[in-house]
Amino acid sequence: MSCIRVRIEIVTFVLENEMDYKSAISKYCVKYQSIYSWTKRYLSNGNEDLKDNKRGPKNYSVNLDSLSEIERLKHELEVERKKREFAELKVEVLKKKQDIEEKLYRK
Protein backbone atom coordinates (compact mmCIF):
# COMPACT_ATOMS: atom_id res chain seq x y z
CA MET A 1 0.00 0.00 0.00
CA SER A 2 1.39 3.41 -0.93
CA CYS A 3 2.17 6.07 1.62
CA ILE A 4 -0.64 8.37 0.54
CA ARG A 5 -3.20 5.53 0.63
CA VAL A 6 -2.22 4.68 4.20
CA ARG A 7 -2.55 8.32 5.20
CA ILE A 8 -5.97 8.57 3.56
CA GLU A 9 -7.06 5.39 5.36
CA ILE A 10 -5.90 6.78 8.72
CA VAL A 11 -7.52 10.18 8.15
CA THR A 12 -10.75 8.51 7.05
CA PHE A 13 -10.70 6.38 10.20
CA VAL A 14 -10.25 9.49 12.35
CA LEU A 15 -13.06 11.36 10.61
CA GLU A 16 -15.45 8.40 10.73
CA ASN A 17 -14.77 7.94 14.45
CA GLU A 18 -15.55 11.50 15.49
CA MET A 19 -11.92 12.70 15.50
CA ASP A 20 -10.80 9.86 17.78
CA TYR A 21 -7.04 10.19 17.47
CA LYS A 22 -6.36 7.81 20.36
CA SER A 23 -8.00 4.86 18.57
CA ALA A 24 -6.14 5.70 15.37
CA ILE A 25 -2.83 5.77 17.25
CA SER A 26 -3.56 2.33 18.74
CA LYS A 27 -4.79 0.82 15.49
CA TYR A 28 -2.11 2.15 13.13
CA CYS A 29 0.85 2.69 15.50
CA VAL A 30 1.50 6.20 14.22
CA LYS A 31 2.40 9.26 16.27
CA TYR A 32 -0.36 11.65 17.29
CA GLN A 33 1.38 14.61 15.66
CA SER A 34 1.49 12.86 12.29
CA ILE A 35 -2.16 11.86 12.39
CA TYR A 36 -3.19 15.32 13.55
CA SER A 37 -1.23 17.11 10.81
CA TRP A 38 -2.51 14.73 8.08
CA THR A 39 -6.09 15.24 9.23
CA LYS A 40 -5.66 19.01 9.36
CA ARG A 41 -4.09 19.09 5.87
CA TYR A 42 -6.78 16.76 4.50
CA LEU A 43 -9.57 18.96 5.84
CA SER A 44 -8.02 22.10 4.38
CA ASN A 45 -6.92 20.84 0.93
CA GLY A 46 -8.03 17.23 0.44
CA ASN A 47 -5.94 14.26 -0.75
CA GLU A 48 -3.40 16.41 -2.58
CA ASP A 49 -1.88 17.70 0.66
CA LEU A 50 -1.24 14.18 1.97
CA LYS A 51 1.58 13.58 -0.51
CA ASP A 52 5.01 13.05 0.98
CA ASN A 53 6.93 16.32 0.87
CA LYS A 54 10.42 14.96 1.17
CA ARG A 55 13.14 17.22 2.39
CA GLY A 56 16.81 16.84 1.83
CA PRO A 57 19.37 17.45 -0.84
CA LYS A 58 18.00 18.34 -4.21
CA ASN A 59 19.54 17.00 -7.38
CA TYR A 60 20.16 19.95 -9.60
CA SER A 61 21.03 18.95 -13.12
CA VAL A 62 23.17 21.32 -15.11
CA ASN A 63 22.71 21.67 -18.84
CA LEU A 64 26.34 21.66 -19.92
CA ASP A 65 25.43 22.74 -23.45
CA SER A 66 24.13 26.09 -22.20
CA LEU A 67 27.33 26.89 -20.27
CA SER A 68 30.32 28.75 -21.60
CA GLU A 69 33.58 26.81 -21.76
CA ILE A 70 34.85 28.44 -18.56
CA GLU A 71 31.61 27.69 -16.69
CA ARG A 72 31.65 24.11 -17.96
CA LEU A 73 35.26 23.65 -16.80
CA LYS A 74 34.42 25.16 -13.39
CA HIS A 75 31.51 22.74 -13.08
CA GLU A 76 33.68 19.77 -14.05
CA LEU A 77 36.32 20.87 -11.53
CA GLU A 78 33.68 21.05 -8.78
CA VAL A 79 32.41 17.56 -9.67
CA GLU A 80 35.97 16.20 -9.50
CA ARG A 81 36.57 17.93 -6.14
CA LYS A 82 33.48 16.27 -4.71
CA LYS A 83 34.59 12.87 -6.03
CA ARG A 84 38.01 13.35 -4.44
CA GLU A 85 36.49 14.40 -1.10
CA PHE A 86 34.30 11.31 -1.13
CA ALA A 87 37.27 9.07 -1.93
CA GLU A 88 39.30 10.65 0.89
CA LEU A 89 36.48 10.11 3.36
CA LYS A 90 36.15 6.51 2.22
CA VAL A 91 39.86 5.92 2.82
CA GLU A 92 39.61 7.52 6.26
CA VAL A 93 36.67 5.30 7.22
CA LEU A 94 38.45 2.19 5.99
CA LYS A 95 41.57 3.10 8.02
CA LYS A 96 39.45 3.57 11.16
CA LYS A 97 37.73 0.25 10.50
CA GLN A 98 41.10 -1.45 10.13
CA ASP A 99 42.35 0.11 13.40
CA ILE A 100 39.25 -1.09 15.24
CA GLU A 101 39.59 -4.59 13.85
CA GLU A 102 43.25 -4.73 14.86
CA LYS A 103 42.39 -3.65 18.41
CA LEU A 104 39.69 -6.32 18.62
CA TYR A 105 41.96 -9.09 17.40
CA ARG A 106 44.74 -8.17 19.85
CA LYS A 107 42.50 -8.81 22.82
Q: Using the 8-state DSSP alphabet, how is residue 16 labeled?
A: H
- The structure's pTM equals 0.49
Q: What pLDDT shows up at residue 46?
A: 83
Position 64 pLDDT exceeds 90: no
Position 54 pLDDT exceeds 70: no
Give the 3-state secondary structure percentages of the chain, helix then strand then coil, rounded to 5: 75, 0, 25
Enumerate the domain spans of the chain.
3-50, 64-106
Position 65 pLDDT exceeds 90: no
